[in-house]
Amino acid sequence: MSDKKKVIVFTTGGTIAMKFDPKVNGLVPAVSGADLAAAVPGLDKLADVEVREFSNHASCAMTPQKMFQLSQMIEEALKEEGVAGAVVTHGTDTVEETAYMLDILHKSEKPIVLTAAMRGAGDTSPDGPANIYCAVKTAASEEAKGKGVMVLLNEIIHAAGQVRKTHSANPDTFASPWWGPIGYCDVDRVVFRRAPLDRRTYSPKELTARVDIVTGQTGIGRDYIDFAVAQGCKGIVLEGFGRGNLPAIVEPAIKDATDKGVVVVITTRTPGGRPYQVYAYPGSVTDSRNNGAIHGGEFSSAKTRLKLMVLLSERPELAKKENREELERLLDV
């Protein structure tokens, strides 16, 4: 009997599974999950790898519902006998969102490692095979237990809650601004230098709450907020400048939205730091809070949106004004 650990690889598509098609003059989905794994030299020496294909599309086609379905599949797979961990191959454009959704739904100590590629499978120097190799090695390691969901590219391991894509084309695109990576995959072993802090997980039966993002801009009016409310949003993530401040003209729209029971969460468009009520002028976070908004934490607007969807789906009562202080605390960790 093999003493190798079992790792299940879920494939979802992305550049890692694309090749150049001269007919359309661009990269298109072209590589199956089985072929992806077969293209990685030495993978069979790391673990007993089983490939399960979830989808094969660009990651811009990923949705919160698909992320939720993927999470359910992975959690069931991790309960199977002998399974040490899971790997997800994904597109780079939204991998940080899928990773975070999986992380806040993931209760097992077994690791989940997402990986991707910035170059297609038919490129002169594709980065996919090496990334898959390191991801499987990490998922099979004892050191990765209890670290939650991670994103690994170029041998560097990031926590799901902190990782961001920082460059549109450079392979060295992923970073955890103001935090740094949690570890790396070396030749002989997987090394961790810290563990993600304050991981909290949730268990909604389904995703029912629609949440939209409105990005603060100079000269923005109230139209975007009004439109989101009219579309039936349960929550709006309102991305402000700096500490979360906004043009004063949006404040009446914030009050109207919160009076109708819509949760408005203030975030910042900066890549680091928290929004907070430091200022008290019209349009400041203090003003927004007086109009019923709450502030988010250090997470990006995209991740705050996903967490708010999960929280309002699991506990709809958090939208009530008397519970919004608790909701604010949950979003701030």
Q: Is the pLDDT of residue 2 over 70?
A: no
Q: Is 92 assigned a catalytic role?
A: yes
How much is the pLDDT for 198? 76
Residue from 12, 89, 92, 138 carrying the catalytic annotation: 92
How much is the pLDDT for 133? 98
**Is 283 in contact with 251 (CB distance < 8 Å)?**
yes
How much is the pLDDT for 312? 98
**Total residue length of the chain:** 333
pLDDT digits (tens, 9 = 90+) for 231-249: 999 999 999 999 999 999 9
Q: Is 15 assigned a catalytic role?
A: yes
172 labelled binding-site residue: no
Q: Is the pLDDT of residue 58 over 50?
A: yes
Tokens of 104: 């806040």
Going along the chain from its start, the domains and CATH numbers come out as 6-192 (3.40.50.1170), 211-331 (3.40.50.40)
| % residues pLDDT > 90 (the chain) | 96
What are the C-alpha distances in Å from 263 to residues 123, 158, 299, 303, 320?
Answer: 45, 30, 17, 16, 8
Residue from 15, 94, 138, 258 carrying the catalytic annotation: 15
287 labelled binding-site residue: no
59 labelled binding-site residue: yes
Task: Measure the CA–CA gap between 255 and 289, rounded to whole angstroms.
Answer: 9
How much is the pLDDT for 136? 99
Task: Measure the CA–CA gap between 92 and 267, rounded to whole angstroms.
Answer: 23
**Distance spanning both ends of the chain, measured CA to CA:** 44
How much is the pLDDT for 199? 86
Task: Measure the CA–CA gap between 111 and 305, rounded to whole angstroms.
Answer: 24
- The whole-model pTM stands at 0.96
pLDDT digits (tens, 9 = 90+) for 69-95: 999 999 999 999 999 999 999 999 999
Task: Measure the CA–CA gap between 73 and 295, rounded to whole angstroms.
Answer: 33
How much is the pLDDT for 1? 42
Q: Is the pLDDT of residue 107 over 60?
A: yes
pLDDT digits (tens, 9 = 90+) for 268-325: 999 999 999 999 999 999 999 999 999 999 999 999 999 999 999 999 999 999 999 9
